Structure 1
Amino acid sequence: MALSIRQRDIVNLARATGKVGVEDLAARFDVSVQTIRRDLGELAGQGLMDRVHGGAVLVAGVANLGYEARRGLHQGAKEAIGRACAALIPDNSSLILNIGTTTEAVARALLNHRSLTVVTNNMNVANILTENDSCEVIVAGGRVRRSDGGLIGDLTSELLTNFKVDFAVVGCSALDADGDVLDFDLAEVRVSRTILRQARTRILVTDLSKLDRSAPVRVVSLADLDAVVTEAPLPAPLREACSGWNTRCVTAAG
């Protein structure tokens, strides 16, 4: 179930403060406490929050958020990231886009590009880019993950080794202070590593909320990438580290 605007605001507030209270939220949004309790119940049902006495806290653990919940979060940031990333990719290019709601934003931003060849293990990306008559779309084979339309597994990785592309654009579930890119699903991580190996230029797209999250599987370090695209500047220590690694930091603001 898609989140309402108020529910997305509640989740974002919980990210900023750690905990939200029923009474405070009711006053903030000028609705009844029953409405807020219903919102928190629905957010808990989608795995976004845990109910506690008097309110709720953001879930932190080893399981990723539900796909529709992730799609509904930070939409403005993802759209800005998508546009900034698309600006790095010229017409007549080849690229691989992996699984994720941010890579889907990149796909939408590529709809006006010409003569692209796009390989993807993301059924949603493929559906978006079929609207571009000038874009050749190749879908990797493999097992379909029904929760998000992702294709993962050894067959997917094997098919991807047949390509050598100009760009790889990948998302992530978390980014830690050491510059490690993290995710939850080892099978998906193996595919992401293959995607990165098959590209001449490797780009990470991520909104800064990923700095507040944790995930158990390391994909790659920012040191191994050519660019990272965010909606606002990375924290200064990470920017300095990226400078030492020759990893370009690109923000939607400039």
Structure 2
Amino acid sequence: MKSKSKFTLNKRQQDIVNTARRDGFVTVEKLAESFKVTHQTIRRDLTFLSDNLYLARTHGGAFFQSGVSNVTHDSRQSIAQKEKAAIASRVSTIIPDNSSVVLNIGTTTEQVAKNLVGTHKGLKIITNNINIVNIAAHSKNCEVWVAGGKVRTGDNAVLGSTAANFIKNFKIDYAIVGISAIDEDGTLLDFDHEELMVTQAIYKQSRKIILIADANKFDRKAPYVTGSLSDIDIFVTDLKPTKKIIKICKSNNVDLIITSPLGK
């Protein structure tokens, strides 16, 4: 696997990486304006950062995604650990025994899988996440089905049309879905086009959809639309979201569950 370059970044390039890490997505236009340089200079920076696996290049900008090799699966597991554990614990109380459950990629869905395997019986687990297969495959409490397709290096996600078509073979009781970003208008966003194909198939094939996202997802941007909060039945998060998000949940009968003891 290609490894990240050892070249030292200049200050502007490091600032670009930091901005992308914070916001999820950066554009050539805004970066050029911010750093007071030409669009061509920013494009060269983004190409360099993409070639050396700091960012992933896309039309008009670049994004900081979980699949980029410099963001390891282990490092993402260490982010917001307590918050993810609280979300996973709460979600596991919603799922009854003897249910069919589909879980997509993400460290929070993996935490949910650990909880379900430890506390539930008679589950049928469907997933495009090889890490979840490894968590659940040896349990006597569940049956595991895994999607086929292209495996993304770094986080063991199975992506693309083959994986999406596999999901379409099932009608599933509960979907437990992680997301990369939530826009202020309630749009659900992801970084990888092949990822969204699977997520959209999950939405379509599930009787009840549970969205799980820690508060960090409210501060990020991503280029691809997977759906909307209006598609969701239950939204579990660690902190109270914005008034606008709360209003969207109420107007669409989305059950908003906040795991923080303070609810804020």
TM class by shorter chain equals 0.7 to 0.9
State the number of aligned residues: 206
RMSD between aligned residues: 2.1
Question: d(CA) in 2 for partners of 1:67 and 1:169?
Answer: 23
> Are 1:123 and 2:130 an aligned pair?
yes
Which residues of 2 match residues 67-146 of structure 1 at below 5 A?
67-68=72-73, 69-111=75-117, 112-146=119-153
Does residue 192 (structure 1) correspond to residue 193 (structure 2)? The answer is no
Matched, 1:151 2:158: yes
Deviation track 1:191-237 (CA, whole Å, cap 9, x = no partner) reads: 10001111000111100111011101011000111011101222222
Q: Which runs of 5+ in 1 are unaligned?
A: 1-41
DSSP 3-state at the match of 1:201: strand
Give the aligned partner of residue 174 of structure 2: 167
Q: CA deviation at 1:132?
A: 2.6
Corresponding position: 1:51 with 2:58: no
Secondary structure of the residue aligned to 1:163 is coil
Please tell me the residue identity of whatever aligns with 2:235.
Answer: V
Secondary structure, counterpart of 1:148 in structure 2: coil
Shift of 1:57: 5.7
Distance 2:94 2:225 in 1: 26
Runs of 5+ unmatched residues, structure 2: 1-5, 26-62
Identity %: 38
Out of 190, 208, 214, the residue aligned to residue 207 of structure 1 is 214
Residue 144 (structure 1) shift: 1.0
Q: Contact 2:100–2:124 at 8 Å: present in 1 too?
A: yes
Query: What is the rounded CA distance, in whole Å, between the counterparts of 2:120 and 2:105 in structure 1?
Result: 20
**Which of these residues, 228, 238, 242, is aligned with residue 245 of structure 2?**
238
Q: Distance in 2 between matches of 1:242 and 1:123?
A: 32
C-alpha contact (below 8 Å) 1:84/1:251 kept by paired residues: no
Q: Counterparts of 1:145 and 1:239 in 2: how far apart (Å)?
A: 34
Q: Which 4+ runs in 1 deviate beyond 4 A?
A: none
In the TM superposition, residue 105 of structure 1 has moved relative to its aligned partner by 1.1
C-alpha deviation, 1:128, in angstroms: 0.9
Specify the code of the residue in structure 2 equivalent to 1:94: S
Residues 56-115 of structure 1 deviation map (CA, whole Å, 9 limit, x = unaligned): 666342231424232221111111111111111111100110011111111111121111
Aligned AA for 2:14?
A: R
Pair 1:183 & 2:205 matched: no
Q: TM-score, normalised by structure 2?
A: 0.73
Aligned mates of 1:248, 1:209 — CA distance in 2:
20
Give the TM-score of the pair, scaled to structure 1: 0.76
Could you tell me whether the CA contact under 8 Å between 2:147 and 2:167 is conserved in 1?
Answer: yes
Query: Structure 2 CA distance, aligned partners of 1:85 and 1:237?
Result: 24
Deviation at 1:163, TM superposition (A): 0.3
CA distance in 2, matches of 1:192, 1:92: 23
